Amino acid sequence: MSTLWTITKIVGKAFGIISLPIAFCECVGHPASVVGASMEPTLRGNDARWWLNDIVWLSKIHSFPKNGEIYTYTSPRDPKVHHVKRVTATPGEIIDVKNRPPMPLGPLEYWMSSDNVTVGQDSRNYGPVNMGLFQGKAMFILWPPSRFGSLY
User: Which active-site residues does the annotation give?
Assistant: 38, 85
- The dihedral region occupied by 16, where left means phi > 0, alpha psi between -120 and 50, and beta the remainder, is alpha
Angstrom distance (rounded) from CA 106 to CA 8: 49
Tell me which of 30, 60, 76, 93 binds another protein, using CB under 8 A. 76
| Shortest distance (Å) from residue 149 CB to another protein | 30
Angstrom distance (rounded) from CA 15 to CA 32: 25
Answer for the pair 73, 134: CB distance below 8 angstroms, yes or no. Answer: yes
Tell me which of 7, 23, 52, 61 binds another protein, using CB under 8 A. 23
Q: Does 74 bind another protein (CB under 8 A)?
A: yes
Residues 102-131 that bind another protein (CB under 8 A): 106-108, 126, 130-131
Q: Name which of 29 and 54 has its Cβ closer to another protein.
A: 29
Angstrom distance (rounded) from CA 119 to CA 136: 22
> Which residues form the interface with another protein (CB under 8 A)?
12-13, 15-20, 22-24, 26-27, 73-80, 106-108, 126, 130-133
